[in-house]
Amino acid sequence: MIPQNSPLANYLSHRQDIDAAISRVVQGGQYILGPETAAFEKEFAEYTGVGYAVGTGNGTDALHLALRAIGVGAGDEVITVSHTAVATVAAVEMAGAAPILVDIEVGSYTMDPTQVKKAIGRRTKAILPVHLYGQPADLAPLIRLAEEHGLHLVEDCAQAHGASYHGKKVGSWGHVAAFSFYPTKNLGCLGDGGAVVTNRPDIHKKLIALRQYGWDRYRRSQIQGFNSRLDELQAAVLRVKLTHLDENNEKRVDIARVYDHSIDIAGLELPKPVPQTTHVYHQYVLRCPEPPVRDELISFMRDRHIQTAIHYPVPVHLQAAYARRLERRAPLGTTERAAGTIISLPMFPELSHDDAEKTAFAVRDFFAGKR
Ligand SMILES: Cc1ncc(COP(=O)(O)O)c(C=O)c1O
């Protein structure tokens, strides 16, 4: 079986260094907020091109704390997308705010700025675009809207470590940005992990308190806080993996090129590179003409021993937990059409050229049979 993803393959390709890092932590005796986390925060901030990074327990917490750090709370609204991991929307509610969901653009699968403009209201506090699949959202119009209306821009970078927009890394554009290091991400650890990045010293200071009971340096709780820390083992693993992030992203791009060149079928939409952005292909997502064709393609691939996935099959506003509650100010037609027709092909740095070709040829065979 060709897997859709393989965090194990990524561990195995850096095994010696990761094992040495783990052993160093275990024998060092300090397991929470020690030298590894501090060093990783510094290295990751440098890599992203920001002043500060703060490690958290996971990416959902990173978003939650990012929103709290800019003052989002009860009574506020945050504009985000429905075509995302539930985590994005869950984090807005964890901060006590109401998510306002807007549609995505055809082609990029990211937030449609024209819809954001219509959704801004009296209670809006922040705009939260998601750089989905490794494709940066169109940030320039969102930054303009945020400036015009006095809003914060919060980036969800969980799927886009190392991607850039107009030559600058994602995560360095917003007032604050959140990353996930879930094992399958472009930069993934061996468990849960996340980070918030910012250029603002005041936001950084608040994040340091928020992740640990609202403590000041004397361990006195000055604000309401939480417990969400990146542990030393994960930080040590991430330090190893960060040194390979660019080369691993290049491998993802090479696989995407194999797919681009070998799958050229009328009616099937391939990821379109958006000008002025670098896509880091967390996922390579095809769009079929109709939902039944997509579902048949999944079974066809399974019969060829090729695993595929759907990111995501049910938009957040249609999921049971949200369907009857969330305010919807705009139609979400593009989101709903995407959810029914998309399919994610195998994509991870260690996927061999042969397996990428096998995958592409299987897609071609499927559509040849349909003609
Ligand atoms: C777009 C997006 N946002 C947020 C998250 C949340 O990250 P985590 O799973 O580390 O909480 C994820 C990952 O699942 C994600 O893909």
Taking only the tens place, the pLDDT of each residue in 12-63 is: 999 999 999 999 999 999 999 999 999 999 999 999 999 999 999 999 999 9
Tokens coding 8:
């194990």
Q: Is residue 312 part of a domain?
A: yes
Per-residue confidence at 329, pLDDT binned at 50, 70, 90? low
CATH of residue 220's domain is: 3.40.640.10
Q: Is residue 2 part of a domain?
A: no
CA distances from 328 to 80, 317, 323 (A): 11, 8, 10
Local structure of 144: helix, strand or coil: helix
Query: Residue 161 pLDDT more than 80?
Result: yes
Say yes or no: 194 and 296 in one domain: no
Q: Distance from the CA of 157 to the center of ligand 1, in angstroms?
A: 9
Say yes or no: 121 and 235 in one domain: yes
Say yes or no: 129 and 255 in one domain: no
Pick the closest to residue 160 from 191, 189, 190, 129 (CA basis): 129
Residue 134 gets which letter from DSSP?
Answer: G
Q: Is residue 172 part of a domain?
A: yes
Query: Residue 328 pLDDT more than 80?
Result: no
d(CA 343, CA 144): 33
Query: Residue 371 pLDDT more than 80?
Result: no
Say yes or no: 83 and 217 in one domain: yes
- The atom of ligand 1 lying closest to the CA of 192 is 10
Query: Do residues 103 and 335 lie in contact, with contact meaning Cβ atoms separated by under 8 Å?
Result: yes
Say yes or no: 225 and 250 in one domain: no
For residue 176, the enclosing domain spans 7-102+109-242
Query: Do residues 197 and 50 lie in contact, with contact meaning Cβ atoms separated by under 8 Å?
Result: yes
Q: Distance from the CA of 178 to the center of ligand 1, in angstroms?
A: 9
pTM of the shown model = 0.98
Query: Residue 268 pLDDT more than 80?
Result: yes
Say yes or no: 117 and 179 in one domain: yes
Query: Residue 269 pLDDT more than 90?
Result: yes
> Which residue of 61, 182, 184, 310 sits with most ligand 1 atoms within 8 Å of its CB, as the best mutation to test the pocket?
182
Say yes or no: 187 and 279 in one domain: no
- The atom of ligand 1 lying closest to the CA of 60 is 11
CATH of residue 299's domain is: 3.90.1150.10
Per-residue confidence at 130, pLDDT binned at 50, 70, 90? very high
User: Which residue has its alpha carbon closest to ligand 1 atom 7?
Assistant: 59
Which pLDDT tens digit goes with each residue over 229-267? 999 999 999 999 999 999 999 999 999 999 999 998 888
d(CA 361, CA 179): 34
Per-residue confidence at 293, pLDDT binned at 50, 70, 90? very high
d(CA 216, CA 210): 10
Main-chain phi, psi angles of 215, to 5 degrees: -65, 145
Q: Is residue 131 part of a domain?
A: yes
Say yes or no: 237 and 255 in one domain: no
d(CA 198, CA 370): 50
Main-chain phi, psi angles of 86, to 5 degrees: -55, -30
- The atom of ligand 1 lying closest to the CA of 91 is 4
User: Dihedral of CA 35/36/41/45: which sign?
Assistant: positive
Helices 291-303, 353-370: inter-axial angle, 10-degree rounding: 130
Q: Is residue 359 part of a domain?
A: yes
Query: Residue 177 pLDDT more than 70?
Result: yes
Q: Is residue 226 part of a domain?
A: yes
Tokens coding 210:
């928020």
Q: Is residue 1 part of a domain?
A: no
pLDDT for residue 273: 82
Say yes or no: 143 and 118 in one domain: yes
Pick the closest to residue 228 from 94, 96, 86, 72 (CA basis): 94
Boundary of a domain, candidates 242, 277, 306 = 242
Say yes or no: 158 and 231 in one domain: yes
Residues 108, 7, 287: CA angle, nearest 5 degrees: 25
Query: Residue 192 pLDDT more than 90?
Result: yes
Boundary of a domain, candidates 212, 242, 272 = 242
Boundary of a domain, candidates 242, 259, 291 = 242
Give mean pLDDT, residues 278-288.
97
Query: Residue 119 pLDDT more than 80?
Result: yes
d(CA 83, CA 129): 11
**Lining residues, ligand 1, CB within 6 Å:** 58-60, 84-85, 87-88, 130, 156, 158-159, 180, 182, 192, 194
> Which residue of 5, 58, 60, 64 sits with most ligand 1 atoms within 8 Å of its CB, as the best mutation to test the pocket?
60
Q: Is residue 262 part of a domain?
A: yes
Separation of first and last alpha carbons in the chain:
27
Query: Residue 278 pLDDT more than 70?
Result: yes
Which pLDDT tens digit goes with each residue over 60-114? 999 999 999 999 999 999 999 999 999 999 999 999 999 999 999 999 999 999 9
Stronger pLDDT, 264 or 194, i.e. the higher one? 194
**Looking at this protein, which amino acid is placed at residue 309?**
A
**Looking at this protein, which amino acid is placed at residue 328?**
R
Residues 145, 333, 170: CA angle, nearest 5 degrees: 40
Say yes or no: 219 and 253 in one domain: no
Helical spans, DSSP H, in the chain: 7-13, 15-28, 35-48, 59-69, 86-94, 113-119, 139-149, 201-210, 232-242, 245-262, 291-303, 333-341, 353-370
Say yes or no: 218 and 259 in one domain: no
Number of domains in the chain: 2
d(CA 173, CA 168): 8
Per-residue confidence at 163, pLDDT binned at 50, 70, 90? very high
Q: Distance from the CA of 229 to the center of ligand 1, in angstroms?
A: 16
Q: Distance from the CA of 67 to the center of ligand 1, in angstroms?
A: 15
